[in-house]
């Protein structure tokens, strides 16, 4: 493919993406394919002769798009947002064109130095403590990891190695294998599954501590577990707290956890993958309490800040502890400027050796929106979630499980768990909107999250109508089965009446 053909293909691809985004509401949010659908549509071996790009682009529409779950659709309300924006896409495209592998400064100085700049920008935007900035005195700083899973694993491995080295010095009577066999980590039973998985990868047993009715991990809960383990000969190394849990977006008590961890010499990491962006808003300034006590934290720009996957920001109070744990030098990695500046070699701060130029898409996105635009985007999600919350509160058949938090509303039909599960199955089968369920105190509930690249109030209205009408259908079907009625005409007529009455009540109550 020469330059001229690349220009044509690239322009057509941009048009394809723009058309896709512009018309995404026309697509069912979930695909209608079955497992293995693609194997029957593609040949078993690669083509012997080159194919033209026009045919390839047609096949994206023919075989790929039908199998896509449309994460950028405003009708996607499952999990948490997967952010995207046109500036971010352009940044990634240019980064792909440069195709640098920035494992050291000399491999592309701009790749490293731009990351230093944007990580300090973000730290100031979120009003993090000064020691997390590259520009501050001390060994702290930020790095762009791929995902929250990587960030947590980096923290866990660093805490493990630092603890092993310290214990070998203070307890020479213990062998290294003895020490490693006694290590233990802590987190909440509400934490993301990646934390439990990272513990498996790090070969460190982890205790998922039970929380109270508020689903918050506190210092008292942690301290009790630490005392039990120390009494049994175990060695605590790290606690992973969560700001914005997966199930209900609960916030662990950082001040009390930080106090315990600092007193005990235990690493405290904060996973703020979704809710961390709210630190930028003054109306959520209380979330910043306790961050001065943590050793590391992460939040995903690809959840709330318009930069697409993968892009997880991580900050370290003392990056030297990570560098000491991961540093392996070979002669081919050295360069003449090494050691002459304070510029980091980020290969020592992460799991892989190589790294992509992610900072470019972050830089372009931050400049395009500015601090005001980013805050407005976060507030828009919150406002739209408040709109949905009002609909739930206006319908006596439904209840909130917890208070709305940021862009998440946790709700359910009143009554048995069967109503929640049946409603979800119905919604998923229709594919017009997508939600998932979770459990709180033996109650199944639905998580409604504001997602999509450009959600609007009418998208929230559409989602509520779909939920309300499908639940009305389920209730009337149940009445039919219970009463044994056979007059289907009467049932349909009654259903139509119920839906109209419910819609009118919703409009009045929301007003």
Residue 300 exposed, middle or buried by CB count within 10 Å (0-12, 13-18, 19+): buried
Buried b (16+ CB within 10 A) or exposed e, 367-382: ebbeeeebbebbebbb
Residue 384: enclosing H or E segment and its boundaries? helix 358-394
Q: Are 22 and 453 in contact (CB under 8 A)?
A: no
**In 10 A of CB 121, how many CB atoms?**
17
Q: Could you tell me the two tokens for 13?
A: 């691809």
Q: Is-catalytic flag, 192?
A: yes
Sheet bearing 408-413, strands edge to edge:
398-400, 408-413, 443-449, 436-440
Length of the chain equals 511
Q: Which of 3, 44, 75, 192 is catalytic?
A: 192
Quick check: helix, strand or coil at residue 257?
helix
| Alpha-carbon gap, residue 127 to 112, rounded angstroms | 23
DSSP string, 412-449: EESS-HHHHHHHHHHHHHHTSSB-EEEEETTEEEEEEE
Q: Count H helices, E strands: the chain?
A: 15, 11
Active site residues: 192
């Amino acid at each position: 493919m020469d330059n001229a053909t690349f220009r044509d293909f690239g322009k057509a691809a941009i048009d394809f993406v723009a058309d896709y985004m512009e018309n995404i509401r026309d697509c069912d949010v979930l695909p209608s394919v079955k497992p293995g659908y693609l194997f029957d549509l593609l040949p078993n071996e690669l083509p012997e002769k080159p194919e033209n790009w026009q045919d390839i682009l047609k096949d994206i529409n023919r075989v790929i798009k039908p199998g896509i779950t449309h994460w950028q659709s405003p009708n996607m309300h499952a999990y948490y947002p997967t952010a995207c924006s046109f500036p971010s896409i352009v940044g990634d495209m240019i980064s792909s064109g440069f195709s640098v592998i920035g494992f050291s400064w000399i491999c592309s100085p701009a790749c490293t130095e731009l990351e230093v700049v944007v990580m300090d920008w973000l730290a100031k935007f979120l009003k993090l403590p000064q020691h997390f900035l590259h520009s501050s005195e001390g060994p702290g700083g930020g790095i762009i990891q791929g995902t929250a899973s990587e960030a947590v694993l980096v923290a866990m491995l660093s805490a493990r190695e630092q603890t092993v080295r310290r214990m070998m010095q203070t307890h020479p009577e213990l062998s290294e294998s003895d020490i490693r066999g006694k290590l233990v980590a802590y987190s909440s039973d509400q934490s993301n599954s990646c934390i439990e998985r990272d513990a498996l990868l790090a070969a460190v047993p982890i205790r998922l501590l039970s929380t109270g009715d508020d689903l918050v991990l506190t210092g008292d809960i942690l301290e009790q577990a630490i005392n039990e383990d120390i009494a049994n000969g175990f060695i605590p190394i790290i606690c992973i707290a969560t700001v914005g849990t997966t199930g209900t977006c609960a916030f662990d008590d950082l001040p009390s956890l930080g106090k315990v961890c600092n007193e005990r010499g235990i690493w405290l990491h904060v996973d703020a993958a979704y809710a961390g962006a709210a630190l930028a808003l003054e109306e959520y300034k209380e979330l910043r309490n306790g961050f001065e006590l943590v050793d590391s934290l992460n939040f995903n720009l690809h959840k709330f800040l318009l930069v697409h996957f993968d892009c997880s920001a991580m900050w370290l109070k003392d990056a030297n502890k990570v560098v000491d744990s991961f540093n392996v030098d070979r002669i081919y990695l050295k360069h003449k400027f090494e050691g002459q500046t304070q510029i980091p070699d980020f290969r020592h701060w992460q799991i892989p050796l190589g790294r992509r130029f992610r900072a470019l898409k972050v830089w372009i996105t931050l400049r395009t929106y500015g601090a005001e635009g980013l805050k407005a985007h976060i507030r828009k999600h919150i406002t739209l979630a408040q709109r949905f919350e009002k609909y739930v509160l206006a319908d006596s058949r439904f209840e909130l499980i917890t208070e709305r938090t940021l862009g998440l509303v946790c709700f359910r039909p009143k009554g048995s768990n069967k109503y929640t599960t049946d409603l979800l199955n119905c919604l998923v089968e229709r594919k017009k909107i997508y939600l998932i369920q979770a459990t709180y105190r033996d109650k199944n509930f639905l998580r409604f999250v504001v997602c999509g690249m450009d959600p609007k109030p009418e998208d929230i209205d559409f989602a509520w109508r779909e939920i309300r009408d499908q639940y009305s259908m389920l209730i009337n079907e149940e009445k039919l089965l219970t009463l044994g009625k056979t007059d289907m005409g009467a049932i349909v007529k009654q259903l139509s009446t119920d839906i109209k009455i419910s819609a009118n009540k919703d409009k009045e109550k929301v007003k």
